[in-house]
Chains A and B, each alone.
Chain A
Amino acid sequence: MNPQSCVNINKEWDIVGARQLGREMAKEIGFSTVDQARIATAISELARNIYLYAEQGKISYEIIYNDSRAGLCLIAEDEGPGISDISQVMRDGFTTSGGLGAGLPGVKRLMDEFEVYSEVGKGTTIKTVKWLR
């Protein structure tokens, strides 16, 4: 199996492709159905953010190991407008698109590790990991 893959996000239907691949990889690593759903939902949120705000970007998947524990690492990258105040977007209910504002804080709760790097005008990179229990 290819341990690292990548899906480009250019149109709305790419979100479906992205989470399909994520779900398949999660299944192969041996995540439970609940965690598979969590990972698929997290990918859906990240991919939708790329599609909504940056219009294009990509999501990479990597199977990682730590002390004999396996995990799935997702990296969402775009060259969009960036985030000016990260603490603001991590607050529940903050939205600029009229949505629920639960996307990024939700992803943080769905996954085990979560990091955001962003520069206004340059783009955003989000790295998040789910460990196999």
Chain B
Amino acid sequence: MDKKFKRIVLENSDSIVQMWLEKVRDLKDENYTANIGDELYESTNREFINVIFASIQNQGSSNEVEQFSEKIINLGWPLSYITDGLQVFRRVTVDYILSNLEDMDDTEQIKGAFQSVDDWVEPIIRQLVNEYTGNWEQIVSLQRVALQELSAPLIPVMDRITIMPLIGTIDTERAKLIMENLLQGTINHNSEVVLIDITGVPVVDTMVAHHIIQAAEAVHLIGAKCILVGIRPEIAQTIVNLGIDLSDFSTKSSLKKGFMSALEITNRRIVPLEGKNREEQIKNIVDSI
């Protein structure tokens, strides 16, 4: 029975394609694909229906389907374009087969028609959806790796002074990473002072504060000093409102001030070069007055 239906469909593929193209054209506006150019939409539709027919003809050959799904993913079209398109194909084809049956009252035949069309369409849907979600999963895992790479960098700016700039939200996983990198880095770089810069942290709630306090205490335990820098005025106010006690830690408003006091702690200071550009220096001083 399946062969018979397949013959009907393949022999009349032109009229089925026409019906399908018309229906899919109507779908365009509600399918999130409204902003796609008509020409591209039309040509992709033709390619899509060819892929469907090729797949039916070859009993589910996957090569064309794979190429097509790759193309759609690259175009950035929604998954619903594919599922809707196949849904329409299922409806159109079943309608066509039923209208071509000699005996409309034979329930066995009708059931068989539905069954066959489902059997043709399902592997295509499965493969396309798998390709699509596989692509998403890959993107998400790549981004997770990328995020982890920039989550807790430690920069040895100078002998005995290290800076850890924190940017973005701190969650439990990242807090752990911060702690590990901080301690490992402090030992590896032989740092005496570690500056933690929180300019880029959008919200400092009790959990973030707790993790920072713990990190600072741990740094203290291994014999270095931790200075918290980059505390914006609004963050300072929320920390006070929350009632978090940071009086045991040195804090500075900016990285610059923190760096200056780090130099002080390590018994150093910045001195302008003697003799060089003396005139220019004097000119600068005069200008600044």
Contact = CB atoms under 8 A, between A and B. Distances in A.
Nearest to A108: B241
A74 to B, nearest CB: 14
Interface centre among B209, B233, B241 (most CB of A within 10 A): B241
A29 to B, nearest CB: 16
Contact of B243 (A16, A37, A40, A106): A106
A102 B243 contact: yes
A122 interface: no
A12 B204 CA distance: 15
How many B residues are at the interface, by size bracket?
A: 20 to 34
B281 interface: no
Interface string B195-218: 000000011111101100100000
Contacts of B84: none
Interface string A1-29: 00000000000110110010000000000
Contacts of B171: 12-13, 15-16
B210 to A, nearest CB: 5
A33 interface: yes
A100 B244 contact: yes
Closest 4 CB pairs of A and B: A106-B242, A37-B234, A44-B205, A34-B234
Interface of B: 169, 171-172, 202-207, 209-210, 213, 233-235, 237-238, 241-244
Interface of A: 12-13, 15-16, 19, 33-34, 36-38, 40-41, 44-45, 48, 92, 99-103, 105-106, 109-110
